[in-house]
Amino acid sequence: MKAVFAAALVLPALSACVSIELPGVVTDTAKVAKDTYKSVTAKKNPPEAAKPAGEAGNSISNTYVGQDSQTTAEVKQACVSEAADKLFKAHGKEVAYTVSENSISAVNNAVAAHCRITATKPSQTATTDT
């Protein structure tokens, strides 16, 4: 019984001797949250006028956060590939597209790509009835 009582007195005293310091964790976390908020709000555009029929779903934006093992080129390509998949799903088939934006930024020591692709209109060839 004395051992339990002694342990109850000694353990709180020992815990006062141990401290864990994490310098900058709170400020780093706040900075990441602030940067993320700014990047999201900066991407929002004012409401656009309604698109004419046939143009809906012609442009897709995507953000891809790369892994440590990926190069910058691989991150950019993965961003475009994901955007293309979204575009294909929106159209229900594979369509030709052009990349109108493909930029890189650093997010919390990771490389992130933001890209925008736009479906190209199929070339319309003139036909004549004879």
Could you report the per-residue pLDDT of 60-97, keeping only the tens digit for each? Answer: 999 999 988 889 999 999 999 999 999 989 888 889 99
Q: How far apart are CA 14 and CA 18, in angstroms?
A: 7
Could you report the per-residue pLDDT of 103-116, keeping only the tens digit for each? Answer: 999 878 888 999 99
pLDDT at 15: 59
Could you report the per-residue pLDDT of 7-54, keeping only the tens digit for each? Answer: 566 666 655 566 666 666 667 777 777 777 777 666 664 444 444 444
Q: What letter represents residue 76's amino acid?
A: K
User: Taking the domains of the chain in order of start, what are their residue ranges?
Assistant: 57-123
